[in-house]
Amino acid sequence: SKVAADQAYQNAIKNADRQNARIEHDRALQKVLLGLLTDQTELYKLFSDNDSFRKWLTDTVFFMTYEGQAGAAAR
């Protein structure tokens, strides 16, 4: 995914703790969603206006990207 490919997020996974990786993840996700704004206005509106949807999406994407990458980095 574009979030998982974000260089700052990748660096945080490899070189920082989970909390700092989460900060970089949230920044990368926001950047990706802003890029989708022109094509996916409903998705961005949900993300911006609906706290429970935003929490669900950020938690889900973080889990999917961090857990896989952190496990691979530990090997």
Q: How many domains does the chain have?
A: 1
Instruction: Concatenate the DSSP letters of all residues of 30-66 into one string.
Output: HHHHHHHTTT-HHHHHHHHH-HHHHHHHHHHHHHHHH
Rounded distance between C-alpha atoms, residue 68 and residue 50, angstroms: 27
Q: What is the extent of the structural domain holding 47? A: 2-74
Is pTM beyond 0.85? Reply is no
Rounded distance between C-alpha atoms, residue 70 and residue 21, angstroms: 10
> pLDDT tens digits, residue range 33-59?
888 877 888 888 999 999 999 999 999
Contact 44, 36 (CB under 8 A): yes
Local confidence band at 60 (pLDDT 50, 70, 90 cut-offs): very high
Q: How is residue 16 annotated by DSSP? A: S
> pLDDT tens digits, residue range 9-39?
999 999 999 999 999 999 999 999 888 877 8
